[in-house]
Amino acid sequence: MKHAAPEPIPDGPHTVLSCTVTDEPDGPVITLSGDLDYETAPDLLAAVTALAAPAGTTVTLDLSGVQFFDSAGINVLLRARGALHERGAELAVRRLSAVVERIFRITGLDTVLVPDARTATGDHEDPAMG
């Protein structure tokens, strides 16, 4: 029996990760937009480690604009958390996109990096917050 060669996986459009840092009263917020994957994870780690985040500071990642999130994204969030902990600072997450929220739930990452309950996650409004 003869089998056809598998079709190559098309190289789809790749969205660059945009990291915008703003200073808010509770500490710096990095708003991400695009793909958080193997190619872009180093950009996020560089953005987090470049922040002046002394002990007691909380750095918050706004993940509402993340369109693609894979194991490299998980890894970089944990590495960023570790780098901040070494300085006595904390990492928080908020406004998870639907893609990120799903991966957080599937992997249990939502028990390690608990999304900020004060803001809605992704596009879903929490009626309890209302």
Domain ranges in the chain?
22-124
* pLDDT of 3: 55
Residue ranges in the chain modelled with pLDDT below 50: 9, 119-130
* Cα–Cα distance for residue pair 53/87, rounded to 1 Å: 8
* pLDDT tens track for 73-86: 999 999 999 999 99
* pLDDT of 121: 45
Strand boundaries in 13-125, DSSP class E: 18-24, 27-36, 58-69, 90-94
C-alpha distances in Å from residue 16, one per residue of 79, 92, 117, 126: 20, 22, 28, 30
* Cα–Cα distance for residue pair 10/97, rounded to 1 Å: 25
* pLDDT of 33: 96
Chosen CATH of 22-124 out of 3.30.750.24, 3.40.50.2300, 3.40.50.300, 3.40.50.720? 3.30.750.24
* Cα–Cα distance for residue pair 114/7, rounded to 1 Å: 40
* pLDDT of 127: 34
pTM: 0.80
